[in-house]
Amino acid sequence: MAAQIDSAFPNLYFNLGLTLALDEDYDGATTALTLHTQLASEDSAGKADELLNNIRASLSALN
């Protein structure tokens, strides 16, 4: 619903990414967090990049 109101709101995708990661939907989380980094300020995008790196490292450890 929030995306219908303002699909360019970066925190929407950050929160979605967190929720998907907790739900173990890592592909969806990666997609949402990547979109967040494209829309967010440099400082905020850096936090999402850190989370993305952690997700990718966890996935690599599982494989």
Domain interval for residue 22: 2-57
The pLDDT value recorded for residue 6 is 61
Residue 62, domain member (yes or no): no
Structural domain includes residue 24: yes
Structural domain contains residue 63: no
Query: DSSP letters of 1-35?
Result: -HHHH-TT-HHHHHHHHHHHHHTT-HHHHHHHHHH
pLDDT digits (tens, 9 = 90+) for 23-54: 989 899 999 999 998 888 887 788 888 888 88
What pLDDT is attached to residue 5? 67
